[in-house]
Amino acid sequence: MNDLEYQRLLEAGWRRKLTSEEELHVQAFLVSRPDLQSDFEDDLALSQALEHLPNAPLSSNFTSQVLQMVSLDERMAERRLKLTRDWRWWINHLIPRVALGALTVSMGALGFLQYQKHSLQERAQNAGAFNRQLEVAARRVPAEMWGDFEAIRRLNTGVSASADDELLAALK
Amino acid sequence: MSSPVDPDAALMLLVKQGDRDAFEALVEKYKQPVMNLVYRTLSDGTEAEDLAQHVFLQVYKSAHRYEVSAKFSTWIFTIARNLCLNEIRRRSRHPAESLDQASAEHDDMPARQFEDVKTFSPPDSLLQGELETKIEEALRELPENQRTAIQLCRNEELSYDDIAETLKCSVSAVKSLIHRGRETLKQKLKPYLRTGAWKEK
């Protein structure tokens, strides 16, 4: 056995108990290398110490707790999935309807505003036209025409067949 | 790479299809090795058990992503180690908070039931107990990667390649970690190791 083989067996001893044959090989090697003897013994003792370390305390219902955690997690995942589905439903069904409703109301409001604006403009135009007619009338009627006003007014009191003759007579 | 006949990987593929019995079988098989790793990393029994349970929950939740690209044991120990490292980082940021507070929503879970597994005969109990305490302390004082490497090394199912994959380093780095860790342990425990109390009877 050489140093390399000794190292290989030492490393094997880290993972498992050496077979009696392997131990004999090592012991035979150590006769020629007494400087390694105590180190090998410490290594062996350490391996045994680690081997005999007790297991960490584990509750007897560990597995059932894990399975329960898994069930709980699945339920929560389902709930999350349902929320996502609900949200998608809102997006797919309700939101288009709400949007359509909002669009209809907006169109109605817009139409009403347009109508109001149009009728205000129309009223303003009418008022403007009336004022213009008044101004034109005031400017164009000659003052002497007002002299016949009383005669014309009297004609309205009684309409006769010879209204035209009476008018002519009145104008003379 | 793992062998295609890894029975645990086969069970995990069943879990992937929603088989609860297969998952239960994996929990039964790995609960103690996972708990040992977590317990010796966190040094707190209650938190260690919470975290070990989260390891299995993580396994279940990740089942749909599971691909047989490595041994199942390598995969689960990697998850356990990552959760431990996260917990250590969390503790360093929020030293006063406990995992129990974080999982307060699990109030409807059954209380833990422990059985006393220590069965020393009275004359041995003092020495044995002291030795155990010393070795646990010495292990706790090791750097995390050395401690994890030494613990995984005791698991005969894991090869050095598997340990290297779990620790995300090379095989030679794993051997170096184990060697350095064991040298430190030997130095610290020398007086106890030489009592011969650990020798197999």
The interface predicted TM-score of the complex, written ipTM, equals 0.77
| CB-based contact A43 B178, cutoff 8 Å | no
Report which listed range, A167-171, B119-123, B157-161, is most confident: B157-161
**Using one digit for the tens of pLDDT, what is the confidence trace for B64-90?**
888 888 789 999 999 999 999 999 898
Report which listed range, A3-12, A26-35, A99-108, A151-160, is most confident: A99-108
| CB-based contact B61 A73, cutoff 8 Å | yes
- Does A27 contact B at CB distance below 8 Å? no
**Chain A environment of B200 (Cβ under 8 Å):** 48
Question: Rounded distance, CA B158 to CA B106, Å?
Answer: 34
**The two three-digit tokens of residue B27, written as one number:** 């929990």
- Residue of chain B with shortest Cα separation from A53: B132
| CB-based contact B31 A61, cutoff 8 Å | no
Burial class from Cβ neighbours inside 10 Å (0-12, 13-18, 19+) for residue A65 reads: buried
pLDDT at B198: 57
Picking from A39, A57, A73, the nearest residue to B45 by CB comes out as A57
**The two three-digit tokens of residue A136, written as one number:** 């034109």
Picking from A54, A68, A73, the nearest residue to B117 by CB comes out as A54
Residue B24's φ and ψ, nearest 5 degrees, are -60, -40
Which band of pLDDT confidence, cut at 50, 70 and 90, is reported for residue A155?
Answer: low
pTM of the model: 0.68
Picking from A16, A48, A62, the nearest residue to B200 by CB comes out as A48
**Chain A environment of B135 (Cβ under 8 Å):** 49-50, 53
**Chain B environment of A52 (Cβ under 8 Å):** 198
**The two three-digit tokens of residue A50, written as one number:** 């680690």
Burial class from Cβ neighbours inside 10 Å (0-12, 13-18, 19+) for residue B158 reads: buried
Q: Flag the least confident range among A133-137, B32-36, B84-88, B172-176.
A: A133-137
pLDDT for residue B201 is more than 90:
no
| CB-based contact A16 B112, cutoff 8 Å | no
Residue A101's φ and ψ, nearest 5 degrees, are -60, -45
Question: Rounded distance, CA B174 to CA B153, Å?
Answer: 9
